Structure 1
């Protein structure tokens, strides 16, 4: 690295703008070394300060301490080399370091109080006012649970100038003190203008929204609580905040009936939890997760899989186990703080949080989406494995893997099935060999049907990887062998595999194989196999432009079987085929009447899947007729049914349109944001049936944000649209963006 000071200052400025924290740390470490080697004390101070901040963002708070100590020692040894601004920055950094020291129970209070006395002496010697020192003393007293001192120094801070009216964090401090004392009414009276957007700061008031969540719920202000949750969630995802803030979102979800939204936040944050070395943050976040897990257990969902820090590397973890881990972590850290501070306040506070009951039901999401299937602890291994196979057949890969993790090492007679499922689930270049190994295990167990189907899977894999000459004899042999056994469902699967292998070799033979597979599937009465085969036959019929009545008949069979088989993704494909076929035939209105009549004839014996599936078909028609608001309930129910296998991006867009038409702007934002990035990606790769939907979804968000007076949100969406417009050289979209930005700016100026 160059040792020319101007170049190093420029490199420091560039490094501080880097988004990747690991790269930023490495660059700053090099800059510290270069500044020391070049003998540039002011640069070394600035680089160490920036590196300390980067370490903190990277959850390595303790690494800031030696950097500060080096800067302080060098200042005391040769302070004349630093200017007044550098000295002031050092003093402020000292206050920040002391506040951080209080967050580590291993650092004793005598050492912290000595540092407080030292920094106060330095402020006095420099002739600076003590407002910042009092704020630091108040923070330390708060961390040490010394409430008398906390009040005393809060009053001194106030007398010394108190909160800066332009500083969001000073305002957030006042709100958090009131909420921590349980004074919801006073906190709301103070925070209300900020919550409504009538009072603004230079940065988003995310901490204010988060601290007010439970008070708003307790006060019955559910609409305001939901809006604050939405703004807080968006804000916290845009920037770096302490783990405690995500913990408060999780705790709010736990106590307001939003367990799945809480689980989503847990899954987003657990990746960094093991490397979070700031004990207060770890304690508070662990307590929040434990609160959620307790509510999961009390809701009868204690056996549900929960994402753990190591993801797939860790053993299966359910909500009961996660509760034990997080509760233990929180109480252990609380005990360490209590020992340091000679109090029981920390443990008392954690225990009170863990024992808290639900506050009030507050709906925070556009649709309630459980992310996993429960797995009862006493479920026999064979049933766990059967469920895993069923989930994978229907495309629910996460649920399949959760069940395999719960299964662990099964009894010997299930080992071959587990190996077969793992081969299909893991895929990749080793799938073929893994399938052959599983087939060998089946052969050892003399399970001939499963062995043959496993080799059919291997043949399809070979065909997909350019080994048709190897695949054809394998799949043919296995199909012929299965035909000698009274297993029509297995024969249908084998014929289906044969048809897939023959694709591209003999089109007529593919159709004949699928026809035979359909006969065997019908004989089996297995709706999954019927839907599987019918789906491919519909595709083939469309490809050869078969008569529309043939396409409709096949799609109807596919639809009904998919609904009976609890296979939403295949049902959606069937509904889409039917809608397109009737549109082409000019019988769209008749088709919609038929759907309405069939729906009207449902009774108490109609399965939920069939009822919800036809509700989805009705919703499609309503949207086409410009009656999107009437489609909301049906779309919500269908999206909930799709949750485990993945909700198509367009379904969220349709739901957002329905919410907007119904005037439910917050819901519209939630739904439109759910898959906005995926819609853009699909458009970029020409995989979106209606390419305009991606931009329309962003425009819908702009409209909603403007109506909600969330101008930052509107500008964020417009910036994305602007990038997309320039990438595609889309002049009309560029003009739309310019017009909207101008209008938003005017609306902001008129506030």
Structure 2
């Protein structure tokens, strides 16, 4: 079945060929090209057939199908021989250029005899000579054949590289790569890198460059001490070749780079991302290069003893590293043997062996912001094992001892209870479990209740309140059956508070009032508090430890209510409950609850706004904990102190407290303290201290801990913040690599993550792509997001923002029709939920770009867009909207100045710019608009002095502004004005 609507005439054929040329290389483009050749053959127009065949050969060449490319070229060559007049200068140039494509295609096929390769080169030489063409391209192909065969390439290299380049020579970037590889093969890393420098710097490029050169330069850079440069180039270079069948060898070299720098886990991640290459690469030579890179990675992982890890491989089955390694090794060995048999050398087997036997060049090189180890490869992530400075008692082997230790530690709230409960959970779940018939151990029912209660507390700690309620209720029933009323009461109280928190999580719907929802939350928490108080009052003979825990639940429910609705009444109730808990805990010497009461008291002070009192309470508690313990409360207490210091705007002290909290947390199991929260708070403190790079590290660490603890939403939010910060810092490739990794998580790919959070991750990635100069990819992502967000009926404001940004990118690409359509969507969404600044920015920017790119032809459309922006500014004034950045009115008049300047209407431009300066006014020393004002002065000076030739007036304006900026001590803003004034005086 055709993939396209077949053209009915040659005009439609040419339109279809143009459209296909815009598609990425791959099966869709190739199949379409095949269909268009079939269609062209139906028309009595051999010129149309020539164009269709050229498109098909290109699709085969860059779609990694070398067996088919020479066949198509043979048809073109026959047409040229029979009807040379069909080929104008451009088509003739393309035909002779593609002799090189065929030479490369034949080289890639081991079934083509060596004599056939030499015969084709002879044909190329004869054709070039007969046509009067320079032979440098022929000698280039002769050199590549010599290198492929493993012969001495010195003479072939000189015959090629020593000749002057001509019109049919490979592009400068490709030739630089070949010359650098010659030096690399000779063992001269330094000279190879010097040769590569123009390409690595981006001075020379083409469709495959610099990505191809980057992949070869990675290991020489490591060997010569350029690890940081290699890291940067890996990120940018890999993105340019991933999933591309025609660049599978480059992907293989990036996998090899990961394997040799201690980044085996990233290598497996990239292998999964490129699993399509196992099936889509039809070139034996490219298969061999790709599979050898894959084998380097798999061999390294297996050598580390992790051959059992899952990995992506050939379709149709699941693979472990060890299994895929065996499969890949067999296939690659066979390919190398076939090439060597054809060539009569051992070059390919020798090169493979050299790559496979390379030792790692670095033990560890941090390639991305998301550093992962092989332990992270299996899902779900297990909590990280943290080295501890304290002595941890081993989990008892004896089942009675294990049960007794778990209960004892659990009642103390000791973190080491976790390991005991985990061991018990595994034993009890086994089919052959036999419960010990010992009176001190109790019944199996009691043990199952203990396990359910512990699981409920873990769910509650993760804010999984629905699960916690269910588990607490089930545990309460079992405790009741076991004849333990005190623990029954405690579980039912826990269920009541968790259920209230579940109700408190409810967010207002579209037709609900926020205040009403808050009131409902307060009612739920009040009822929960009353329930816990009733259960406490009705309970008799509670052990002090259990009664203290019940009092803790009373204080907790009162504190949650205060947190939901701060007020004097709720504050007094919370304080009374905390005092009750503290008094009881001190009387009965329940150390865990003494500490808990003082933490709750500090939190109550903080909630009521008395931060100094909160700090004083925490300081007293820290003294107590350091003297008497429990020691595991120290990191949590220091963490709270750090957060309060952030509230007091003492970032330095907060940073010190949080750093110490993290240091102490390393001594305890993961659930003891929320290390993800500590890292997140440290990121905030670092930002306040002007240390964004440190903040970035803490954000990524926060995300890692949160994902390990199955706090998925928090983890993805932390990664989202890290990505945005890396983009703000100009670490564009880091941002993209991080988001590529995060967006490949199963939560995202299976659609299980909140769709708005996924959209935010994609939006940041699209902005990073734009910042990195990949306009095409950025525009495609923005357009997809705009289409998806159009269905967000509950959030039209976000759709307005996305549609406006999409319009700007479309306009940047010159697609003004689609840009105007996107602005129409933005305006429609703005009508539902005002988004003045984003939509106004979009209107003004598209107007500017249209005037800049189309001149007077685009003026009417540009002015119409500015008129829409003016209406938005009027609406904003009427609504009392305060702009967060530039004033909408000054931004609009400034854009009028630029638009009119682009079309040569300089009087109108000057009038608009003078209006802008009037609206801005002369800035003061603390005015945030200084830079905006200085730029408006500069542009006004350009229009007035250069285009309108009113030099004296322009200089008067500029000199006054320069004096003002000098007085304000703003050299950065002054410099462009000084430069312009000097230029005007010179002219």
Which runs of 5 or more structure 1 residues have no equivalent in the other structure?
376-387, 395-444, 448-481, 497-506, 556-578
Is 1:168 the equivalent of 2:173?
yes
Secondary structure in 2 aligned to 1:270?
Answer: coil
CA distance in 2, matches of 1:24, 1:57: 10
Alignment-derived partner of residue 370 in structure 2: 367
**Alignment equivalent of 1:95, drawn from 94, 100, 121:** 100
Q: How does 1:145-294 map to 2 (within 5 A)?
A: 145-148=150-153, 151-152=155-156, 154-156=158-160, 158-161=162-165, 167-197=172-202, 199-201=203-205, 205-237=210-242, 241-294=246-299
Q: Render the CA deviation track for 1:260-288: whole Å, top value 9, x for unaligned.
A: 22112211112231342211111111111
Alignment-derived partner of residue 542 in structure 2: none
**Alignment equivalent of 1:723, drawn from 806, 811, 814:** 806
CA distance in 1, matches of 2:690, 2:249: 43
Alignment-derived partner of residue 325 in structure 1: 327
**Alignment equivalent of 1:638, drawn from 697, 702, 706:** 702
Relative to 1, partners in 2 of residues 1:648 and 1:156: Cα closer, same or farther, differing over 3 Å? same
Alignment-derived partner of residue 557 in structure 2: 550
Q: How does 1:577-596 map to 2 (within 5 A)?
A: 586=609, 592-593=640-641, 596=657
Q: Is the 8 A contact 1:653 1:671 kept in 2?
A: no
**Alignment equivalent of 1:687, drawn from 750, 756, 763:** 756
CA distance in 1, matches of 2:699, 2:201: 30
**Alignment equivalent of 1:654, drawn from 721, 727, 732:** 721
Which runs of 5 or more structure 2 residues have no equivalent in the other structure?
1-5, 384-430, 434-442, 458-464, 507-520, 527-554, 564-601, 616-638, 644-656, 783-801, 809-822, 828-834, 854-897, 899-975, 977-987
Secondary structure in 2 aligned to 1:24?
Answer: helix
Alignment-derived partner of residue 13 in structure 1: 18
Give the drift of 1:625.
5.4
Relative to 1, partners in 2 of residues 1:695 and 1:585: Cα closer, same or farther, differing over 3 Å? farther
Give the drift of 1:129.
1.5
Of 228-237 and 652-661, the range deviating more from structure 2: 652-661
Highest RCO, 1 vs 2 (Cα 8 Å, sep ≥ 6):
1
Q: Render the CA deviation track for 1:278-320: whole Å, top value 9, x for unaligned.
A: 111111111111111122123332222111222xx414423x2
CA distance in 2, matches of 1:521, 1:585: 40
Alignment-derived partner of residue 53 in structure 1: 58
Q: Which structure is larger by alpha-carbon Rg, 1 or 2?
A: 2
CA distance in 2, matches of 1:9, 1:97: 25
Is 1:65 the equivalent of 2:73?
no
Is 1:619 the equivalent of 2:621?
no
Q: Render the CA deviation track for 1:18-64: whole Å, top value 9, x for unaligned.
A: 34844433332222122222232222222122112223444333122
Relative to 1, partners in 2 of residues 1:146 and 1:537: Cα closer, same or farther, differing over 3 Å? farther
Secondary structure in 1 aligned to 2:371?
Answer: coil
Q: Render the CA deviation track for 1:623-656: whole Å, top value 9, x for unaligned.
A: 7857663544443333334556668432123334
Is 1:539 the equivalent of 2:542?
no
Alignment-derived partner of residue 732 in structure 1: 837
Secondary structure in 1 aligned to 2:165?
Answer: coil
Q: Is the 8 A contact 1:257 1:358 kept in 2?
A: yes
CA distance in 1, matches of 2:377, 2:777: 41
Give the drift of 1:186.
0.5
Relative to 1, partners in 2 of residues 1:642 and 1:210: Cα closer, same or farther, differing over 3 Å? farther
Alignment-derived partner of residue 137 in structure 2: 132
Relative to 1, partners in 2 of residues 1:675 and 1:97: Cα closer, same or farther, differing over 3 Å? same
Q: Render the CA deviation track for 1:204-224: whole Å, top value 9, x for unaligned.
A: 522222221111111111221
Alignment-derived partner of residue 793 in structure 2: none
CA distance in 2, matches of 1:101, 1:608: 59
Relative to 1, partners in 2 of residues 1:661 and 1:278: Cα closer, same or farther, differing over 3 Å? closer
Q: How does 1:301-340 map to 2 (within 5 A)?
A: 301-310=306-315, 313-318=316-321, 320-340=322-342
Alignment-derived partner of residue 516 in structure 1: 473
CA distance in 2, matches of 1:18, 1:581: 61
Relative to 1, partners in 2 of residues 1:28 and 1:600: Cα closer, same or farther, differing over 3 Å? closer
Give the drift of 1:240.
6.6
Alignment-derived partner of residue 567 in structure 1: none
Is 1:488 the equivalent of 2:536?
no
CA distance in 2, matches of 1:593, 1:244: 54
Provide the aligned length of Structure 1 versus Structure 2: 601
Relative to 1, partners in 2 of residues 1:8 and 1:719: Cα closer, same or farther, differing over 3 Å? closer
Q: Is the 8 A contact 2:252 2:293 kept in 1?
A: yes
Give the drift of 1:115.
1.5
Relative to 1, partners in 2 of residues 1:93 and 1:692: Cα closer, same or farther, differing over 3 Å? closer
CA distance in 1, matches of 2:342, 2:729: 56
Give the drift of 1:69.
2.5
Q: Is the 8 A contact 1:256 1:358 kept in 2?
A: yes
Q: Is the 8 A contact 1:628 1:657 kept in 2?
A: no
Relative to 1, partners in 2 of residues 1:492 and 1:208: Cα closer, same or farther, differing over 3 Å? same
CA distance in 1, matches of 2:261, 2:130: 52
Alignment-derived partner of residue 453 in structure 1: none
Alignment-derived partner of residue 411 in structure 1: none
Secondary structure in 2 aligned to 1:37?
Answer: coil
Relative to 1, partners in 2 of residues 1:243 and 1:585: Cα closer, same or farther, differing over 3 Å? farther
CA distance in 1, matches of 2:185, 2:151: 14
Q: Is the 8 A contact 1:541 1:551 kept in 2?
A: no
Relative to 1, partners in 2 of residues 1:20 and 1:188: Cα closer, same or farther, differing over 3 Å? closer
Q: What's the TM-score once normalised by structure 1's chain length?
A: 0.67
Q: How does 1:561-580 map to 2 (within 5 A)?
A: none
Alignment-derived partner of residue 607 in structure 1: 669
RMSD, aligned α-carbons:
5.1
CA distance in 2, matches of 1:131, 1:664: 41
Q: Is the 8 A contact 1:653 1:697 kept in 2?
A: no
Give the drift of 1:93.
1.9
Q: What's the TM-score once normalised by structure 2's chain length?
A: 0.52
